[in-house]
Amino acid sequence: MKYLLFILLIPQLVRSETLQIQPGELKVEDGDTLLVTMHGETKRVQLLGIDAPEDVENPKFKMDLKRTALDQEILLLLGIMASNHLRDLVKQEEMLDLHFQPGAVDRYGRLQGELYGLSDTSLNRAMIADGFAVVTLDGSDKKSPLWRELQQQSVKQKRGLWGLPAMPARRWAGGLLQH
């Protein structure tokens, strides 16, 4: 009986949903987090597999500030640039699809999701390719090698944050670029 119950619950554990959203129906909180209304409730959604600098002073910003020893204004500027780029990507789309697992949340209570435009382009991936976010996927995800290659190309070609003088983005990204 225990095994039958487990087998019946498996689809619930891995079930994913897609939510269609018009660009005006979501808010970019920062370069890797969205505020999305689902079933009448606003949910925070972490863009899966990426990390972008913070654009406001919060606990993560303070940790990044200490870890990088960057000037506070420079670190905030990196975050503002990343957030603005995500906003621009969202505005370019007529409709967006958010793919997520309803019960899967990170340590901050955010849903994990991937945001796609009409051309089936992942905005998560675009943030990496455009140089405004770093890859956080571990090697077990099938997207990891491709996304890491896109990250290396964006650094090499000095796209986005990587093109700033003195390379403060490298100090922010720290060991994440070594993968």
What pLDDT, on the 0 to 100 scale, is given for residue 104?
Answer: 86
Q: How far apart are the first and last CA of the chain?
A: 44
- Residue ranges of domains in the chain: 16-173
* Beta strand spans in 15-95 (E): 17-21, 26-30, 33-38, 41-47, 50-51
Q: Which distant-in-sequence residues (6+ apart) come within 8 Å of 2 by Cβ? A: none
What pLDDT, on the 0 to 100 scale, is given for residue 39?
Answer: 84
Give yes or no for residue 164 having a pLDDT over 90.
no
Q: Calculate the average pLDDT of the chain.
A: 88
Write down the pTM of the prediction. Answer: 0.86
CATH fold of 16-173: OB fold (Dihydrolipoamide Acetyltransferase, E2P) (2.40.50)
Measured distance CA(42)–CA(70) in Å, rounded = 33
Main-chain phi, psi angles of 47, to 5 degrees: -70, 115
Give yes or no for residue 31 having a pLDDT over 70.
yes
Give yes or no for residue 6 having a pLDDT over 50.
no
Residues 70-124 pLDDT 10s:
899 999 999 999 999 999 999 999 999 999 988 889 888 999 999 999 888 999 9
